[in-house]
Amino acid sequence: MATEAADRVTMDKIVALCKRRGFIFQSSEIYGGLASTYDYGHYGVLLKTNVKSQWWRSMIQERDDIVALDAAILMHPRVWEASGHLDGFTDPLVQCLGECKRRWREDHLREQQPEGELRCPECGGELTEPRQFNLMFKTHMGPVEEESAVVYLRPETAQGIFVNFKNVLQFSRKKPPFGIAQVGKSFRNEITPGNFIFRTREFEQMEMEFFVPPDQAGHWHEYWLDERMRWYTSLGLRTDHLRLRPHAADELSHYSSATSDIEYLFPIGWSELEGIANRGDFDLTQHARSSGEKLEYVDSATGGRYVPHVIEPAAGADRAMLAFMVDAYDEEQVEGRERVVLRLHPKLAPVKVAVLPLVSKDGQPEVAREIYEELRERMPAEYDAGGSIGKRYRRQDEIGTPWGVTVDHQTLEDRTVTLRDRDSLEQDRIPMDELGAELERRLAAPWRSPKLSA
Ligand code: GAP
């Protein structure tokens, strides 16, 4: 059942589910929407927050060689000169000279049309010569729109880390190998955004810069490739929908000496989920040269000094959330009716348990509400008394709630409830007083996508 259903996942189904269940809406929808820009609703906020929390957990809580940072989005314009983004952060832009006048990325078109002269995929028209288009959003700081007031919205969070290297080194008492982690918004004026939240102009990144002695860079690059793959699979992504792809020399970013992408099999095909780059000493050297500050590590014991090399696992929070949703999406027939279910890892699920009175009378809502109020002290819970029980379960299945508690007439007699499992649909009758502990046990237990075994 499940593999076939998994193969039926389309981006349209994910978009429809996100709208129907309040995960994600088109931005400024009442004005016709702003292209490729999205607003996150209640369950979307909760799911993305869980993705980010799990990332922070793996970077900070589960180890002691990484510290956190939250740098400003607006940075001194010289940062982008030194980092190479003003000159090098460009994509080749071509425009249709035919009917539609649409703009395209030449490198993307070349992948689709490997032979001969490129034509517009929309109307078949001729295309202009490519020109390098800088992806940074430009704005002005202060009331006067003059050249000296130009600032940029950061296109990556990484530079906030490099310019704070010295501050962090001084306070944190760390020495290489150590890392600085950051989560935050980045902005890119993409020529062809699209595929829902896969490529947008405003998005969130989860980046970590790991500073290492130069001769250890190769080792740590391999280490972080393994670690990051492990993170995705530990949160339920199917291993056969994940792969590593090393970049060819001609696709490396201007700062990178080696990059491998973790790719996921999205409905649009294999696509980048996260990039893991060896940035060498490019960034620290550039900023040291440009700012005049020494950005190096001095070993107080030996007096030896060096510019650390950097290994960078750089992930997108929105793109990771999309991958988790795509991987979790399932459809199956249950008692002659179609059920749509998000088989999310319980740690990622926006709501862990729903408490539902079977009927809205006979004291059931009051007992259910009491159970809910106790459970929400332990984990995100929801109380839902409106509509038929079938509809309420369908709603919880679609937002990925792993467990449902039903209060019925028997509950009032013997203080037991039924505990329903989202994936197996098994129902256990258990004492009300044991619910909290039982749910905590299930939440901590290892979890494996049921779609894997199919
Ligand atoms: N600091 C390195 C860096 O930014 P990147 O490969 O350009 O590397 C890292 O971006 C991750 O950020 C990507 O793997 C992707 O998950 C996410 N990302 C990049 N551009 C994006 C966009 N336009 N929309 C959504 N996510 C994006």
Residues 101 and 179 in one domain: no
Span from the CA of 240 to the centroid of ligand 1 (angstroms): 22
Indicate whether 265 belongs to any domain. yes
- pLDDT score for 454: 53
Count of structural domains, the chain: 3
Residues 157 and 206 in one domain: yes
Identify the domain boundary among 309, 325, 341: 325
Per-residue pLDDT of the chain (454 residues; tens, 9 = 90+): 344 444 579 999 999 999 999 999 999 999 999 999 999 999 999 999 999 999 999 999 999 999 999 999 999 999 999 999 999 999 999 999 999 999 999 999 999 999 999 999 999 999 999 999 999 999 999 999 999 999 999 999 999 999 999 999 999 989 999 999 999 999 999 999 999 999 999 999 999 999 999 999 999 999 999 999 999 999 999 999 999 999 999 888 888 889 999 999 999 999 999 999 999 999 999 999 999 999 999 998 899 999 999 999 999 999 999 999 999 999 999 988 999 999 999 999 999 999 999 999 999 999 999 999 999 999 999 999 989 999 999 999 999 999 999 999 999 999 999 999 999 999 999 999 999 999 999 999 999 988 876 5
- pLDDT score for 261: 97
- pLDDT score for 340: 97
Residues 153 and 257 in one domain: yes
CATH no. for residue 385?
3.40.50.800
Residues 115 and 167 in one domain: no
**Shortest-distance atom of ligand 1 to CA 274:** 14
Residues 300 and 405 in one domain: no
- pLDDT score for 19: 96
Residues 175 and 237 in one domain: yes
**Dihedral sign, CA of 338, 344, 348, 354?**
positive
Residues 235 and 302 in one domain: yes
Indicate whether 310 belongs to any domain. yes
Indicate whether 335 belongs to any domain. no
The ligand 1 site (C-beta within 6 Å) comprises 156, 158, 188, 190, 199-200, 203, 205, 207, 272-275, 312, 314-316, 318-319
Residues 313 and 415 in one domain: no
**Shortest-distance atom of ligand 1 to CA 205:** 12
CATH no. for residue 302?
3.30.930.10
**Shortest-distance atom of ligand 1 to CA 155:** 4
Indicate whether 262 belongs to any domain. yes
Residues 175 and 319 in one domain: yes
Q: Which residues on neighbouring strands pair with residue 140, listed in sequence order?
A: 150
Residues 122 and 38 in one domain: no
Residues 268 and 321 in one domain: yes
Indicate whether 439 belongs to any domain. yes
Cα(365)–Cα(356) distance, rounded to whole angstroms? Answer: 8
Span from the CA of 203 to the centroid of ligand 1 (angstroms): 8
Residues 417 and 372 in one domain: yes
- pLDDT score for 451: 84
Span from the CA of 123 to the centroid of ligand 1 (angstroms): 30
Nearest CA to ligand 1 atom 25: 199
Domain enclosing residue 245, as ranges: 4-88+149-325
Indicate whether 340 belongs to any domain. no
- pLDDT score for 3: 44
Span from the CA of 310 to the centroid of ligand 1 (angstroms): 17
